[in-house]
Amino acid sequence: MESSNEKLKPLLFENDNEIEIEETLKPLSFDFNKDTHDDYVPIAKTISNDIKNKESNFVFFFGTAESGKSVILSSMLYYLRSYAGVLRPKLGTPNTKEANVLLSDFFENLRQGILPNRTTKDQVTRMDLVFEPNNKSKKVVPIDLTFLETSGENHNDIKRGGSYHSSIETFLNANIPLTFIIVTSYESAYKDDSLINEFLDELERKGKNLKSVNAVLVISKWDKSGRMDVESGEELDNFILERLPMTSQRINTYGLSKTYYTVGSVQNSTGEERINLLNLSTAEVLAKWLYRSIVGYDLDYEGTFWERLKFSFTN
């Protein structure tokens, strides 16, 4: 039993209990007296039957409409670029320019407290990026990341044995390394239990072994609970068991990871939700989980003995 004073580790691993979450980032505050552009967040549109540049680590977001996928994506990228290293569009990819525009809008809007627009139906938002960590260890290497996001309406297409739009099927059927970020929100999780399981069934039909698949369940909008964190690990477990009983069984059986997520304090005072206090602590946790699950080393890995000795002379 965890004591009430013990700092909670937001991301729970079934197979690795020794990963520690470092110091929580300080929230960022906003000044809303600045001029903002509320209606302009371009979406990079990529629809193709041929996946170019397969030599990457593909990250696929699953979640219904308004589950928070775009917010999670934008805040994760913001953390990686602002605190963990250099994040830039990969040159020579089909949507390099669009990815650059989308990144700029993500970051500018987050700094102004503006939430991302909803993704367009029947289109895949694809961002081919290169992430270069600021960690000096040779074990913490640069990686290519290709983020894939689709409209929540498209995920409803698989209900009762239905099929995805061809733009999504292309990625799910391809022989590429895929990580799945499965998103449901604090308020609507109970509605998504069946659909999440249909999605997992779909992955198995496509030959993906859930015991070895790289996936994490994310409960978004945790701030709707009245808190920015959870009181104990059991609270998150109990929430998933109560609201997502079928999904809970899949997670426990296959040893998948789970966490909660919040972008900070969100208020609705003018008919639309805006961030008035940005918190990147859960973005940090999820971004570090993603990197470690791909590379096998933590972003903040301290290095070998000889590397640490070298760092002590150069710093």
Is 3 within a domain? no
Is 102 within a domain? yes
What residues make up the domain containing 136?
Answer: 37-314
The per-residue pLDDT for 140 is: 95
Is 10 within a domain? no
8 A C-beta contact, residue 138 and residue 20: no
Is 4 within a domain? no
The per-residue pLDDT for 180 is: 94
pLDDT tens, residue by residue, 107-127:
888 887 888 766 666 567 788
Q: Which residue stretches of the chain have pLDDT < 50?
A: 1-8, 15-49
Is 306 within a domain? yes
Is 165 within a domain? yes
Is 80 within a domain? yes
pLDDT tens, residue by residue, 209-223:
888 889 999 999 999
CATH at 41: 3.40.50.300
Q: What angle do CA 80, 83, 85 make, to 5 degrees?
A: 60
The per-residue pLDDT for 39 is: 42
Is 214 within a domain? yes
**Bridge-based pairing state of the strands 273-278 and 264-268:** antiparallel
Nearest to 221 by CA among 183, 174, 186, 252: 186
Counting residues of the chain whose pLDDT is more than 70, the rounded percentage is 74
What's the domain count of the chain? Answer: 1
